[in-house]
Amino acid sequence: MSDVVIKVNNLSKQYRIGAKEGYKTFRETLVDAAKAPFKGISKLLTQNSKLKTQNSKDLIWALKDVSFEVKRGEVVGIIGRNGAGKSTLLKILSKITEPTEGRIEMRGRVGSLLEVGTGFHPELSGHENIYLYGAILGMDRWEISRKFDEIVAFAELEKFIDTPVKRYSSGMYMRLAFAVAAHLEPEILIVDEVLAVGDAAFQKKCLGKMGDVSKEGRTVLFVSHNMGAVQNLCSRSILLDNGQIFSDSSTQKVVEIYLRSIHEQSILNLSERTDRNGSGDIRFTKIIFLDKDAAPIDHAVSGQRLTIRLYYKSNSATIHKNCRVSVSLHRQETTFFIASTELVSNREIVLFEEGYLDCIIENFPFSQGEYFLNPFVESNGIVQDWIESATQLSVIDGDFYGTGRNYPPGWEGKTVLVRHRWEW
């Protein structure tokens, strides 16, 4: 018996912008089958109603000619930018939507966690929705009852299990949905980015559970923008770009390719940014990152030296005196630090027609994750240039404390690492 449990051949999905898809009912499919016996039932069951339009500009391919195989027990990460086709792929694999072209073969029961609350009825209690969602996943009542207490304990919702889920927060929804999908023993578990709505401790628990699922010989497909979680969980990853497979290899290699593409794109876009503040007499033209050997890098490593090089150019040959330059690092609504020339030096900063400044950080103290940089420059009290989220900085795990141990998974992108010691 083959170990391949998921086989995808030339899978494509086309959408028409602004249009809703219409699918045939099961009854209509059977009627069509009776009218066209030579086409075969199996072909009709997988055939999508093709989108037809005279204006090809209205058509987009969310996926195009995607092919891959996944073996039993593999944990495969699916990564890529927003709009790359990740969620579309998982929806097709979960049989929520149909492909326009191509074929999928899946062996085993599938448990999917794609959107918070999918499969839940808002008027029913958490208790009742466990049975409802379990039934949707193909479980019988005895199997659900056998796992019921374990599901509730994992979701940490004992006090609210008889409360209608319409009163649940998005995090409570996700916790219950994940607990059901993971504990009812599907042969294939498909998980989208929904883990992002959980707190760090629960994310860690979910990652541990998915690891346990794979050790039991079951298969996991995991979509996430959290490269730390992907690297900790997946040995293999697939990078999607514009609906096509750009890379399918070891997670380390695929993540490096992905982070490099993000960094290169941010460098390209900086000179074209128009959403910037300041007089514009001085402008930032490029931001690059350097390692301890002054070699260009596309990501930082926790605990290692990082140089942030800010290139600038003036609109005139004027020498700009009494300058202040800073760079801040943030993630979502949280600003982690502001590194400013005025804080670390009493020397006057003079900027010429063009050049660069280096901000050097020894033992870079941030946990694995994605961050954004805001560069700022002023001269004689006048703001010259200030760009929000000018570039993205990807940080990967490093041995910050020199012990060979990493911080616990689930805290990626939320933690500043501080050198410390204990005495007892």
Q: Is the dihedral of CA 351, 356, 361, 366 positive or negative?
A: positive
For residue 115, give every residue at least 6 positions away whose Cβ sits within 8 Å of its Cβ, in sequence order, or none: 192, 194
Tell me the CA distances in angstroms from 309 to 129, 289, 294, 362, 370, one per residue in order. Answer: 53, 6, 10, 14, 18
Q: Is 174 helix (H, G, I), strand (E, B) or coil?
A: helix
Nearest CA to 60 out of 243, 247, 246 is that of: 243
Q: Give the CATH H-level superfamily of domain 271-396.
A: abc- transporter (atp binding component) like domain (2.70.50.60)
Tell me the CA distances in angstroms from 136 to 48, 92, 133, 175, one per residue in order. Answer: 22, 16, 5, 17
Please state the domain extents for the chain.
4-11+61-258, 271-396
Q: Could you tell me the pLDDT band of residue 53, with boundaries at 50, 70 and 90?
A: very low
Q: What is the pLDDT of residues 341-373, one digit of tens each?
A: 988 888 889 999 899 999 999 999 988 888 889
Q: With 70 as the cut, is the pLDDT of residue 379 above it? A: yes
Q: With 80 as the cut, is the pLDDT of residue 407 above it? A: no
Q: With 90 as the cut, is the pLDDT of residue 298 above it? A: no
Q: Could you tell me the pLDDT band of residue 172, with boundaries at 50, 70 and 90?
A: confident
- The pair of three-digit structure tokens given for residue 279, joined into one six-digit string: 């007089």
User: The domain 4-11+61-258: what is its CATH number?
Assistant: 3.40.50.300
**For 127-136, 163-172, 203-212, 403-412, which range has the lowest pLDDT when averaged over its residues?**
403-412
What's the predicted TM-score (pTM) here? 0.65
Question: Fold match between 4-11+61-258 and 271-396?
Answer: no
